[in-house]
Amino acid sequence: MTKRIGNKDIAQHRGKDEKKRLRAFNLAMEAEKKAIAAAKYRNEVKGRPALAAQA
């Protein structure tokens, strides 16, 4: 749940520029996570457990 200032959530106090920046940051972080996960499993054979030697 979001923090509150009086009766309003903090998100309600954010300006348009800040909201835009946060959205861009969140999308970039999510894209980075997806790229790391894709690279991690890129050469794995489906259904076969990962080799212990790779860890």
User: What is the Cα–Cα distance from 8 to 11, expressed in whole angstroms?
Assistant: 8
**What pLDDT is attached to residue 41?**
77
The tens digit of pLDDT for each residue in 22-31 reads: 999 999 999 9
The answer for 47, left when phi > 0, alpha when psi is -120 to 50, beta otherwise, is: left
pLDDT above 60 for 13: yes
Look up the pTM and report it.
0.56
The tens digit of pLDDT for each residue in 14-47 reads: 888 988 999 999 999 999 999 998 888 777 777 7
